[in-house]
Amino acid sequence: MTAFGVSRLAFRGEERCAEPGRTDKRRVVGHRKEYFEDSLANGKNLYYVAKICLSTTRNAKRQAMRRAIYPGSFDPVTNGHLDVIQRACRLFDELTIAVAFNEQKEKATLFSIDERIELLKQTCEHLKNLRVIRLSGLLVQAAKEQDMDAIVRGLRAISDFEFEFQMALMNRKMQPSIETIFMMPREEYTYISSRIVKEIARLGGNVEPFVPKCVAEALAKKFLV
């Protein structure tokens, strides 16, 4: 096959890679005909050229994905959090849960940062487009470094809005390219908060209607007398 023939195939997005022992149909997108002509004219292996193109295609596809980050302390994660997480996973191709870590406030949390991350992983193991990370710096800086398109925030009531609105404006000032998306949980979860759940558990109440099963078990162990 001539260099020009290979270029025409590659330019319209189809190529056969002559890897030893097999013939494989590949997709190569976004390269000019001249690149293939020059590469082959200079004696570069066809498989090597196609491999470079495939890598470029994967990177382009990754850049086209819609990504969002959902920050919070999640001490512990509640059914209200889970509702927002599940719906955000349907809106975005990839959702990152950023568990806030503040060394000065760590003693004030019921669960350690590692425990909170583990509880989130157990709670969200059925969501394949989700990952959990530790957040110890500026949210917008982490979002920028990881090419996020949006920040997801949950709003339970009007009382949440003033603070969240102020933070959204500040984040936009620092990083104009990242949007803030406000999501309201379902009505049955609007009154649930991590603080109230911990207080119920501390006083011996049943928290199973308000948190995932693994969290209810972890709370029972924390307050076991």
Q: How does pLDDT run across 137-180, given as a tens digit for each residue?
A: 899 999 999 999 999 999 988 888 889 999 999 999 999 999 99
Q: Which of 26, 33, 156, 172 is catalytic?
A: 156
42 pLDDT band, cuts 50/70/90, is low
Q: Which of 44, 58, 62, 105 is catalytic?
A: 105
Q: Is the pLDDT of residue 90 over 70?
A: yes
Q: Which of 7, 39, 73, 194 is catalytic?
A: 194
Q: Is 87 an active-site residue?
A: no
The residues, ordered by sequence, that sit 6+ positions from 101 with a Cβ below 8 Å of its Cβ are 113, 134, 135, 136
Q: Is the pLDDT of residue 203 over 80?
A: yes
Residue 32 C-alpha from the chain's centroid: 33
- Strand 15-17 versus strand 179-183 pairing type: unpaired
Q: Is 81 an active-site residue?
A: yes
- Strand 94-100 versus strand 24-26 pairing type: unpaired
Q: For the chain, how many residues are written?
A: 225
Summarize the confidence of residues 55-72 as an average pLDDT.
Answer: 74
- Alpha-carbon distances of 33 from 3, 8, 18, 40, 45, rounded to whole Å: 9, 7, 19, 11, 16
pLDDT the model gives residue 153 = 96
pLDDT the model gives residue 57 = 55
224 pLDDT band, cuts 50/70/90, is confident
The whole model's pTM is what?
A: 0.71
Q: Is 194 an active-site residue?
A: yes
Q: Is 105:73 a contact under the CB 8 Å cutoff? A: no
Q: Is 100:118 a contact under the CB 8 Å cutoff? A: no
Token pair for residue 126?
Answer: 């059925």
Q: Is 25 an active-site residue?
A: no
Average pLDDT across the chain, whole number: 80
pLDDT the model gives residue 160 = 86
Query: CATH homologous superfamily for 65-191?
Result: HUPs (3.40.50.620)
| Widest distance between CA atoms in the chain | 80
Domain(s) labelled CATH 3.40.50.620 in the chain stretch across 65-191
pLDDT the model gives residue 157 = 81
pLDDT the model gives residue 156 = 86
Q: Which of 81, 116, 153, 198 is catalytic?
A: 81
The residues, ordered by sequence, that sit 6+ positions from 94 with a Cβ below 8 Å of its Cβ are 65, 66, 67, 68, 129, 130, 131
